[in-house]
Amino acid sequence: MANSQKQKRHCVVINWGLVAYQDAWLRQKSLVTERISNPDLEDILILSEHFPVYTLGTGASTDFLKFDYDESTSAKSDLKREVYRVERGGEVTYHCPGQLVGYPILNLRYYQQDLHWYLRQLEEVIIRTVATYGLNAERISGLTGVWLEGKKIAAIGIKVRRWITMHGFALNVCPDLTGFQDIVPCGIIDKPVGSLNEFIPNLTVAEVRVKLIRSFAEVFNVELENKVD
């Protein structure tokens, strides 16, 4: 049981829908700052999709970009692609519509103050969600994320400040995967990226979102409340 308290912790679920990555990033940082100032605030699970964008973790190498990118300039309007370096762990990844992105804003003091444990819990949420379709997703030892028949279907990258989490996971439901061709996803050269709709045609983000919310509640042992934002 993730949350060892007898009484389940309250967690609000907010669906941001299709939103620009930068807007979601700024709003996350604001929510985390509020909770650092007031650790008693409720936990939040934000779910969204993004317009096409590439993000690099704090220590990510630009060698994994297959296009020219001058990080010394902020003139992103000169790029054909939108790129951000953010404070999460991990290498480069790609977001686009059809990908279910989750940003849990949790106070780990109420769960376990262990980042490896937290990463494994996020993987478990994905694995249980996929299992509802009769598919056996899995972890790969030494790597972070979730794979299905050798294809990476979910990437995970987090940031934790004073035990308040931000960033999170991205599950490929029915995206256009061609954007991944311009990078080495997560810096992993020998493992392809895949999506759920390769195994289950006509799958939608809305359908998977409902199942993922249930899996999240089970894994983290929380009482969820849906909220319109």
Residues annotated as catalytic (active site), given as ranges:
186
Q: What is the four-CA torsion angle of 189, 191, 196, 199, rounded to 10 degrees?
A: 140
Task: Specify the amino acid at residue 104.
Answer: P
Q: Residue 107's beta-bridge partner residues?
A: 164
Measure the CA–CA gap between 83 and 55, rounded to whole angstroms: 6
Give 135's Cβ-side CA count (13 Å radius).
20
Question: What helix, strand, coil percent values describe the chain, rounded to 5?
Answer: 30, 30, 40
111's CB contacts (< 8 A; 6+ apart) are 2, 3, 4, 9, 118, 121, 220
With beta carbons less than 8 A apart as the criterion, state whether 54 and 84 touch. Answer: yes
With contact defined as beta carbons under 8 Å apart, do 157 and 173 qualify? no
Let me know how many helices (H) and strands (E) the chain has, helices first: 3, 10
Separation between Cα atoms, residue 97 and residue 91, nearest integer Å: 20
